[in-house]
Amino acid sequence: MIKKIDLKNILPLLLVAWALIAGLSACSKSEELLSDEDNQEIVIKPTVLLNDVITRSAGVELEDIPSFYLRIINPVDSRYSYFVKVVKGTDGNWTAQDPQNAGVPVKLVFQNGTQPVKIQALYWNNSRFQYMMQTADISTWEKDFAFWTSTVSTYYSIKENDPLYFNQVFVPKTDAPGGVLPIRFHHRFTKVNLTLNFDQYTTNLIGYNQDAISEVSVFGLMTGNVKLVKWNFNTDAFDYNGDTRETVAKLYFIDFIPPTMTTNTSTYYELMAIPQIIPDGSLTVAFSIYDEEYRWTYQGLGLNFERNTEYDITLMVSGIDPATKSGDTSMTSAKKRFKITGSMKKRRKGGSDDIL
């Protein structure tokens, strides 16, 4: 005898079964979407930007970068970790190459869209650095690099002492959509801009004679010339290695503005410095006018030269004509009556200028 099926009892079971099937189907579709968006390899396409300070008239700009070194660290799968040289082509696009085999391309791939990776990049037009990197590998990148900065500051030495650096953890899906990897370089060192302004009396002494202002120097900086400073590109840490503070012996003018009908003489200098804390009373500017030296020392406290930051030092050189005091018009007496006042300002892109 066939029993009658009670729909009231079986209906709940059917509903549960339907819900399970629907759930499995939705889960399968969700996994398909996850695979499409997050679990497949993504080809990396590097692009270069410059997270610059407001201005660097003699520093490194984007057009100065023909190539740079790039490290990508995947902490869970080393197959997606790379150390390459990235070279700019004539078409303006960047391609990855084997750093030990020039011209041999390397395909860069993110493991997926969600696995975080660390991105590190460096451009440095330093002859010792460039020589070392000709045979570099990942172990080279992880070792301390010993260096010094030039104590003679010219237009060209500024570019040689202006490394561009980038170090950031990326989630490819959000930070490099479509595989476009933005390398937002910043200037790793500090830039110092020095302006000497002269009043009417001192301008009359100097006139159009640029050579009258000689031996412009800065005291109190660590440069690595006594004991080499060390920089680890992997940790981005400096080891000052017991280096002593010394004189940046010579600053060559970047711009000399002779007097006109409306302006007095001024002259402008630039130099690069390793980021460092300056002991109170140590930073001193010295310059000579007709072979007699004058000095100005920064009197503020807690001066810290930071990366990707510019420091403007402006000095006003004023004089009192001795003829108005004693009738003595000799150059020696005139020079003895110079007075120097100064100020310093810190500048960062996107931030306010701070008077120090």
**Residue 247 in this model has a pLDDT that exceeds 50:** yes
182 and 239 part of one domain: no
| Assigned domain for 138 exists | no
Q: In this structure, are 194 and 227 located in the same domain?
A: yes
Regarding whether 59 and 46 lie in a shared domain, the answer is yes
Which tops the pLDDT comparison, 138 or 315?
315
What pLDDT is attached to residue 256?
Answer: 81
Q: Is the pLDDT of residue 54 over 60?
A: no
What's the pLDDT score for residue 13? 53
Label residue 12 by pLDDT band (50, 70, 90): low
228 and 286 assigned to the same domain:
yes
pLDDT tens-digit readout, 87-129: 999 998 999 999 988 889 999 999 999 999 999 999 999 988 9
pLDDT in tens, 268-319: 999 999 999 999 999 999 998 888 889 999 999 989 999 999 999 999 999 8
Q: Has residue 52 been placed in a domain?
A: yes
| Structural domain for 88, as ranges | 42-125+162-187
> Pick from 170, 187, 204: which residue ends a domain?
187
Q: Tens digit of pLDDT for each residue in 14-43?
A: 454 555 554 545 444 444 444 455 789 999
167 with 200, same domain: the answer is no
Write down the pLDDT at residue 17: 54
Which pLDDT does position 88 carry in this prediction?
94
pTM: 0.81
**Whole-number average pLDDT of the chain:** 83
In-domain check, residue 130: no
Is the domain of 333 the same as that of 303? yes
19-47 b/e (C-beta count within 10 Å ≥ 16 → b)? eeeeeeeeeeeeeeeeeeeeeeebebebe
**Residue 17, in any domain of the structure:** no
Task: Give the residue, 249 or 313, on which the prediction is more confident.
Answer: 313
- Check if the beta carbon of residue 187 is closer than 8 Å to that of residue 162: yes
Please state the domain count of the chain.
2
Residue 7 domain-assigned (yes or no):
no
Tell me, yes or no, whether 65 and 171 share the same domain.
Answer: yes
Residue 134's beta-bridge partner residues?
Answer: none
